[in-house]
Structure 1
Amino acid sequence: MNAKTVVKTGTLPTICRQCDMHCGIKVHIENGKLIKISGLDSHPENRGSVCPKGLAAIDTVYHEERLLKPLKKRPDGSFEEIPLGQAMTEIATKLLEIKEKHGARAVGCWQGEALGFAQQEKYARRFIHAFGSPNFFSCDSLCWASRYLAYGLVQGYWNPYSDVQNANLIILWGTNPPVSHPTFMKSIKEGRRKGAKLIVIDPRLTRIAKQADMHLRPLPGSDGALAWGLIHYLIEKKRYDTGFIENYTTGFEEFSAYAKEFTPELVAQKTDLTEHEIIGCCQMIVENLPRVANYVGVSIEHQDNGVNNLRAIACLGGLCGAVDIPGGDLWPEVMGVRDLNLYEKLPLADQKPVGADRFPVLYSFTKECHTMTGMDYILGKGEYPLRGLIICGGNPANTNPNAQKVAQAFSSLDLLVVRDLFLSETAKLAHYVLPAASFLERSELHFYTQHQWVSLSRKIMEIPGVVDEYSFWHELAHRLGFGEEYFPWETEQEVNSWLLEPTGITVDELQKRPEGMRYKPIKHQKFRDRLFPTPSGKFEFSSHYLEELGYPALPEYVEPLYLRDRSKDYPFILITGARKIVFLHSRFRNIQRFRRLHPRAEVEIHPEDAGRLGLQDNDQVRVMSKIGSITLPAKIVQEAEIRPGVIQITHGWEQESNVNRITFDMVNDPISGFPQVTSVPVRLEKIDSV
């Protein structure tokens, strides 16, 4: 690899993009080679700490399997290397052919996380609308967007990170920060040092659950019932913020009436918790009002009633009086940079974005097309054909539900272009694979709304022939004839300056301050002098907007699928969201020292269930759902680690070990369209050795 660093020897600060935490790091260079990553003490996001994934950025950059030259698929399915200019010419020609034959909307863009998910996403959104298509896809319709919708529907904003360091009580719903977001643990530990209590709600005994003052283990997918039970208690005992409710909310009367049925007795039946546990949780909340910080993990999204379960949790925060206060849920203010999106200039809503008719709230809030519906369009089951797709840093053939259907759909496209660092499962299906730049090979802006902070990452190195995301979209746009109007900047540095121009902060200032700077002081209780960004201008316990679209106005509780439609054929409940600290979805399994720690996928199972099936550790188990099966070795965990009747398989493993071969794409949350990728009904079958 002919990589060149910007300095021969020295230490340079930048921002890590191995995951979506955007931690400040220092890159140590000797004789033109990266030798070490360390934490940037002055950065507010991580304050000097670095997780194993961040430390492995050097492994990623110099990996022997790193893509360095464009690949074109031959008729026999193998790849040949071709020059970048030839690849770009052929891709542009094929895009124009599809546009001429089927219309611009027959082409889509798909952004994943492997190349970053900030400006990179905006470039893809800008490109596809300039091309004339409304069809932008991303991993957000599988992760993140349901929480964004749910909190947006209630209070008009979502802050991904509540103010746990100043809370009296921290409630973690379906999340395990020591593994999923390790740098966030600094804030949790700071809150704990100040005396904050900790409640963890998770069917599994996770690392964070072992640290909790109270660990509740409800049935998977029953979190909404528990939230309503907590709401019931606060209302019945009149221990809610009456001033906030009376002056700044709407819908409380009907919300309160609906809550009456969620008595401790009923909630115990719905969740399989004891009444004593439920009341104990309620009392701990009451004792620590109003500084109650709810932090909700992705697992709550992956239910077919996820949005309303999340809305109920958001409403619980309002009852506590925790909205936009220290130790609660900050209403973040944005910086006011220019917008790369073209939704005002080129809305293209008349072009019928994929899935917008099925899930109008998802599209209205995010301008995101529904990826699962996209598979049907590719396979000829949509209103119009979807024949071309450009995927940047995404691996949906692994990470989307019903993965074999995804592979079938991608294999049928007229044009599939994938930009990535490695030849992923998705890249192997592509007609063209283009090498992408890592985060160490570009500069971009990073925003931290929970801190109201902005940082600028620094380009550390470059590899000849490997271009960054902006350069790719710029080049393709100019070849297609709209580059001068929509991609006029020559470099990403020019883009950064243009974005910052209205703010009064310059690129030069940020370059001199590697940790970044606060763009606006944090103020609390802003609702006292401005309206909530909701249709009513108030905190909405009940949504007229949803009601007009035919959804329930209240965040009504619906039992998870496996409880509504009990089946003797599929008696086990599959959880898929538990992570390993060294992996992120399908990434980093090609780093050998990580692979040695976790060499394979496993079925985590309770000892009682293993006994009934006659299983020992490492016995092969076939796991079957209604759409397919996979075979994996069993891992019998301790009794306290998982509920009987529940199994766990970590997602992201390749091919036959991929749990998304058995997760559902056809069972969706009615509001967000999110798929049921956890709490999946399955059955198990021991495979006898020959």
Structure 2
Amino acid sequence: MGDVTGNREHYTSLCRMCDNRCGINVYVENGTIVEITGLKEHKWNHGRLCVKGRLAVDMVNAPDRILKPLKRIGRKWEEINLDQAYDEIAEKIKKIQSTWGDRSMSVWKGEALGFLTQENLYRRFIHAIGSPNYFSNDSQCYVGRWLGYALVTGDWATQDFIKSKCAVIWASNPPYSQPNLTQSILNGRERSGKLIVIDVRLSAIARQADEFVQILPGTDGALAHGIARQLIEDDNISHAFIDKYTIGFETYAQYVKIFTPNLVEKHTGVPAETVVHLAREIGSRRPKVAFYAGNGLEHHENGINNVRAIACLDGLLGNLDHEGGNFIAEKPGLRDLTLYKDKPLRHLGPIGADKYSVLYDFRKECHTISAMDSILNEKPYPLKGMILAGANPALTNPNSQKVIKALKALELFVVRDLFMTETAKLADYVLPAATFLENSELHCHPIHQIIGLSTEIVTFPECDSEHIFLKKLASRLGIENYFPWKDNDELNRWLLQDTTITLETLRDHPEGFEYKPRRFLKHQKDGLTTPSGKFEFVSKYLKGHGYSELPEYVPPAYRCSPNPEYPYVMVTGARKVFYTHGRNRNFKQCRSAIPNPDIEMHPIDAEILGVKTGDIVTLTSTVGSVDIPVKVVHKSKILPGVTQVTHGWQESNINLLTHDDRNDPIDGFPLMKSVEIKITPKQDGSRNH
């Protein structure tokens, strides 16, 4: 029990409404969560809490929350007992395994229920039952950036914004996606730092920047190479770092010579003089320069190499793992839940691993888009069963019609979620899941190297945590030895066993417990975790897999081979402050603030099309069409010919237009942020009021 004052109980925990994991106070009256505020003592958020954090009260108490297991009977749902649901699901899994083989089963991890311990629990479960097919939202979000950096530096760095002299936010909008990160960025600027934002749109963070550089979608690699060329030409680079800790510099430097300011302007739309100025502003502040590469870089056919191009700037500036630069955090030494050492199962052909071997080599992640083909075409083998937790690919994956068709074709489709999502509607069983307020889990904050523990505050009788769900299912499948922990506390103690940290210590430190003091420039003694042990301007690993060793820039298709039938380029996925991907649209507060989707459009394009804000237009790509209201934005917000639509709206599902057949060749990420479309005003001139 938490601290009690009158009829109100007080608990401390960590928020999981986004990946910032802010410290929170949670107040409970008569068994019901009534208020959530920021925890002042927490080292990450210092008492700040965004609107999404406060919305967790609405989430846990929502009247439309799923609290009972549901089984599809024809076109209707029937409530059933939880044990009955688990029994039936286990029997269906056994039948699929005996008919089609173990690898015909799969799991898919989303982030609506949390994705730290839960991720590795699902990885453990699927290998325990003999299948390599672990899928997740990560294979089209975050991992593209992670891979781009890992191929150059060996890891994903964390930005030391507070100590930086220059923060470069590239294709991200933290005030809407990671609100507390914004405070670190602005605090660094207040301490004599500079804020530069590079993006397609004049976003909330761009409006606060000292300099905003507006760029055409998917051309970021050209700009990064142009900056690199200028830094080298000005000799404004760290020779000490380059000479001792890198490989491939001469080859890389020779390559970027072609990216003159004028050529960069031709590709990116960024004026030549701005390219030169940008390089000199950044270079003058080395090595205390912190680059943050955002989600806007991933969803292109050239995404990985665009990210690699940005990562290479760390090597030129010598800011990698430097105070005020891009810090590589050490890990706390938790035990590994996965079974990749004991049961790797690579010989069973994880789906997508043959075509996107880099993705699987680095992340042990199967390719979600390839999964749809395996379900529908049974190639390279049939995929017949899936357990999906906290994901909504019917709205968030590209080519939604194909996704829906594939998920409907499964012999067994089990969804665990809080609400009846568009994806849950396709399931055979929908199981009630626990929120982060009903679950105890370990969390780390890399920038501070602290670890914390979320608290199980309330419970609902049939809403098991992911650990308990998988434990109960494992016992019915004869693999209970892989889930020996009786509850989440015992699991957390096991994870901590190889450290000197105890659960009691974490409970005594709701502000976060420092597991290791921060050390900088660790590569000077330990090297990096790349194959060479050094910073890799060129990748011999990629060359060995048939790719260019250089981060070669390939222009997006709409720039190098424009299709006059589809004259506009559409960016999807810009964040809205109340929403996270497809979530929160069932909350009245959110709908009141942002009631409907829209397409952001430059005034020149609106005039050419003869439309105004609120008019309905039809968007069409080579994949599909959707109707949506227009929002004519200020001329500074977006470039002529470029449009933006946020995903996650069932009534105007923009992923009906996005491509699952045009992917980055290295990691398989889909084209979702430079999609060629045509825009047709509705003939009746209808308006959306």
Task: Say if 1:5 and 1:461, in contact at 8 Å, map to a contact too.
Answer: no
Q: TM-score, normalised by structure 2?
A: 0.98
The equivalent residue for 1:249 is 246
The equivalent residue for 2:522 is 526
* Alignment length (residue pairs): 683
Q: Give the stretch that moved more between structures: 506-515 or 472-481.
A: 506-515
User: Paired residue for 1:367, among 364, 367, 381?
Assistant: 364
Shift of 1:286: 2.1
Indicate the SS of the match to 2:204: coil
The equivalent residue for 1:638 is 634
Indicate the SS of the match to 2:451: strand
Whole-angstrom distance in 2 between the partners of 1:350 and 1:281? 48
Alignment of 1:70-85 (within 5 A): 70-75=69-74, 77-85=75-83
User: Paired residue for 1:279, among 276, 280, 302?
Assistant: 276
- The answer on 1:476 being equivalent to 2:473 is yes
Q: What is the identity, as a one-letter code, of the residue corresponding to 2:486?
A: E
The equivalent residue for 1:36 is 35
Q: What is the identity, as a one-letter code, of the residue corresponding to 1:566?
A: P
Indicate the SS of the match to 1:66: coil
Superimposed CA distance per residue, residues 136-168 of structure 1 (whole angstroms, 9 cap, x where no aligned partner): 000000101011111111011102x31111111
The equivalent residue for 2:297 is 300
Shift of 1:357: 0.3
- The answer on 1:591 being equivalent to 2:590 is no
Whole-angstrom distance in 1 between the partners of 2:612 and 2:266? 33
- The answer on 1:139 being equivalent to 2:137 is yes
Unmatched runs of 5 consecutive residues or more in structure 2 = none
Whole-angstrom distance in 1 between the partners of 2:91 and 2:53? 39
The equivalent residue for 2:534 is 538
Task: Say if 2:2 and 2:9, in contact at 8 Å, map to a contact too.
Answer: no
Unmatched runs of 5 consecutive residues or more in structure 1 = none
Q: What is the identity, as a one-letter code, of the residue corresponding to 1:150?
A: G
- The answer on 1:171 being equivalent to 2:168 is yes
Q: Following TM superposition, where does structure 1 have runs of at least 4 consecutive aligned residues deviating by more than 4 angstroms?
A: 4-8
The equivalent residue for 2:334 is 337
- The answer on 1:661 being equivalent to 2:659 is no
Whole-angstrom distance in 2 between the partners of 1:86 and 1:14? 33
Percent same amino acid at aligned positions? 47
The equivalent residue for 1:327 is 324
Structure 2 CA distance for partners of 1:446 and 1:291, relative to 1, 3 Å: same
Task: Say if 1:39 and 1:46, in contact at 8 Å, map to a contact too.
Answer: yes
Task: Say if 1:6 and 1:460, in contact at 8 Å, map to a contact too.
Answer: no
Q: TM-score, normalised by structure 1?
A: 0.98
Whole-angstrom distance in 1 between the partners of 2:351 and 2:38? 42
The equivalent residue for 1:493 is 489
Whole-angstrom distance in 2 between the partners of 1:344 and 1:492? 24
The equivalent residue for 2:53 is 54
Whole-angstrom distance in 1 between the partners of 2:342 and 2:447? 30
Q: What is the identity, as a one-letter code, of the residue corresponding to 2:138?
A: D
Whole-angstrom distance in 2 between the partners of 1:330 and 1:649? 33
- The answer on 1:673 being equivalent to 2:672 is no
The equivalent residue for 2:155 is 157
The equivalent residue for 1:392 is 389
Task: Say if 2:602 and 2:643, in contact at 8 Å, map to a contact too.
Answer: yes
Alignment of 1:228-239 (within 5 A): 228-239=225-236
Whole-angstrom distance in 1 between the partners of 2:282 and 2:508? 44
The equivalent residue for 2:615 is 619
Q: Give the stretch that moved more between structures: 641-650 or 6-15.
A: 6-15
Whole-angstrom distance in 2 between the partners of 1:281 and 1:512? 47
Superimposed CA distance per residue, residues 377-406 of structure 1 (whole angstroms, 9 cap, x where no aligned partner): 010252100000000111111110111110
The equivalent residue for 1:120 is 118
Q: What is the identity, as a one-letter code, of the residue corresponding to 2:15?
A: C
Shift of 1:61: 0.6
Task: Say if 1:398 and 1:586, in contact at 8 Å, map to a contact too.
Answer: yes
Indicate the SS of the match to 2:569: strand
Whole-angstrom distance in 1 between the partners of 2:640 and 2:519? 47
Whole-angstrom distance in 2 between the partners of 1:204 and 1:348? 44
The equivalent residue for 2:23 is 24
The equivalent residue for 1:88 is 86
Aligned residues: CA RMSD: 1.2
Whole-angstrom distance in 2 between the partners of 1:218 and 1:465? 50
- The answer on 1:215 being equivalent to 2:212 is yes
Structure 2 CA distance for partners of 1:467 and 1:489, relative to 1, 3 Å: same
Q: Give the stretch that moved more between structures: 225-234 or 205-214.
A: 205-214
Shift of 1:118: 0.4
Indicate the SS of the match to 2:542: helix
Task: Say if 2:231 and 2:280, in contact at 8 Å, map to a contact too.
Answer: no
The equivalent residue for 2:182 is 185
